[in-house]
Amino acid sequence: MYEHDVLVVGAGGAGLRAAIAAHEEGADVAMVTKLHPVRSHTGAAEGGINAALHPEDSWELHAYDTMKGSDYLGDAPAVETFAQDAPDEVIQLEHWGMPFSREEDGTVSQRPFGGLSHPRTTYAGAETGHHLLHTMYEQVVKRGIEVYEEWQVLNLAVTDHDDVEDRECHGVVAYDIASGTIEGFSARDGVILATGGPGQVFDHTTNAVANSGDGYAMAYRAGVPLEDMEFVQFHPTTLPSTGVLISEGVRGEGGILYNEDEERFMFEHGYANNEGELASRDVVSRAELTEVNEGRGIEDEYVHLDMRHLGEERILDRLENILHLAEDFEGVDGLDEPMPVKPGQHYQMGGVECDENGQTCIDGLYAAGETACVSLHGANRLGGNALPELLVFGARAGSHAAGADMKEAEIQTGPSAKSEDGDLGADVEIGAVGAGDAAVAADGAAVESGEVLSRAVERERERVETLLEEDGINHAHVRDDIQETMTENVNVFRREENLVEALEDIREARERYQHVAASDPSRTYNTDVLHTMETRNIIDIAEAITAGALAREEFRGAHWREQYQFRDDEEWLKHTLLAWNDGSPELYYKPVELEAEKEYEPKERSY
Partner 1 sequence: MSTQIEQQEAEEEDEAETEIEPAEKPHQERRLSEKRARAEANERQRREREAVREAENDIRIKVFRYDPEVEGKEEPRFDDFRVPFHKGMTVLDALIYARDHYDSSLTFRHSCRQAVCGSDALFVNGQQRLGCKTQIADLETPVRIEPLPHQDVVKDLVVDMEHFYEQMHAVEPYFQPDDLPEGELEEQRQTPENREKVKMSTRCIWCGACMSSCNIAAGDNQYLGPAAINKAYRFAMDEREGENAKQERIETIEQEHGVWRCQTQFSCTEVCPKDIPLTEHIQELKREAVKSNLKFW
List binders of partner 1 among 585-604 (CB under 8 A): none
Q: Which of residues 61-90 bind partner 1 (CB under 8 A)?
A: 87-88
Taking the complex as a whole, the smallest distance from the CB of residue 536 to partner 1 amounts, in Å, to: 16
For partner 1, give the closer residue by CB, 470 or 595.
470
**Inter-CA distances, 556 with 174, 565, 569, Å:** 39, 9, 9
Of residues 489 through 518, those in contact with partner 1 by CB under 8 A are 512, 515, 518
Report the C-alpha gap between 187 and 452 in whole angstroms: 12
Residues 181 to 210: which contact partner 1 by CB under 8 A?
Answer: 208-210
Give the nearest distance from C-beta 88 to partner 1 in angstroms.
Answer: 7
Angle at alpha carbon of residue 522, lines to 519 and 528, rounded to 5°: 45
Q: Check 130, 251, 536, 552 and give the catalytic one.
A: 251
All residues at 6 or more sequence positions from 143 whose CB lies less than 8 Å from its CB, including other chains: 20, 23
* From 17, 23, 62, 130, residue interacting with partner 1 (rule: CB under 8 A): 130
- In the complex with partner 1, the residue whose CB is nearer, 38 or 404, is 38
**Closest to partner 1 by CB, 131 or 575:** 131
Using the minimum distance from each CB to partner 1, give the nearer residue, 101 or 186: 101
Under rule CB under 8 A, residue 139 binds partner 1: yes
Residue 23 annotated among the catalytic residues of the structure: no
* Site mask for partner 1 (CB under 8 A), range 316-335, x = bound: --------xx--xxxx----
Report 422-481 residues binding partner 1 (CB under 8 A): 469-474, 476-477, 480
131 in catalytic set: no
Q: Does 53 bind partner 1 (CB under 8 A)?
A: yes
Tell me if 44 contacts partner 1 by CB under 8 A: yes
What does DSSP assign to residue 444?
S
Is residue 142 close enough to count as binding partner 1 by CB under 8 A?
Answer: yes
DSSP string, 138-203: HHHHHHT-EEEETEEEEEEEE---SSGGG-BEEEEEEEETTT--EEEEEEEEEEEE-----GGGSS
- What is the pairing mode between strands 303-306 and 420-421? unpaired
For residue 293, give every residue at least 6 positions away whose Cβ sits within 8 Å of its Cβ, in sequence order, or none. none
Residue with Cβ nearer partner 1 (474 or 581):
474
Check if the beta carbon of residue 554 is closer than 8 Å to that of residue 566. Answer: yes
DSSP string over 314-381? HHHHH-HHHHHHHHHHH---TTTSPEEEEEEEEEES-EEE--TT-B-SSBTEEE-GGGEESSSSTT-P
| Binding segment (CB under 8 A) for partner 1, from list 128-136, 273-281, 306-314, 563-571 | 128-136
Angle (CA) 500-506-510 rounded to 5° is 145
CA distances from 83 to 51, 86, 88, 408, 594 (A): 7, 5, 10, 18, 15
Nearest approach, Cβ of residue 397 and partner 1 (Å) = 23
Does 1 sit near partner 1 (CB under 8 A)?
no
- In 3-state terms, the chain is what percent helix, strand and coil (to 5)? 40, 20, 40
Least separation in angstroms between CB 38 and partner 1:
5
> What number of CA atoms fall less than 13 Å from residue 74's CA on the CB side?
31
Contact segment (CB under 8 A) with partner 1 among 30-38, 252-260, 378-386, 570-578 equals 30-38
Compose the 212-241 pattern: x for residues touching partner 1 by CB under 8 A, - for all others: -----------------------------x
Catalytic residue among 235, 304, 459, 575: 235
What minimum distance in Å lies between the beta carbon of 241 and partner 1? 5
Active centre residues (catalytic): 235, 251
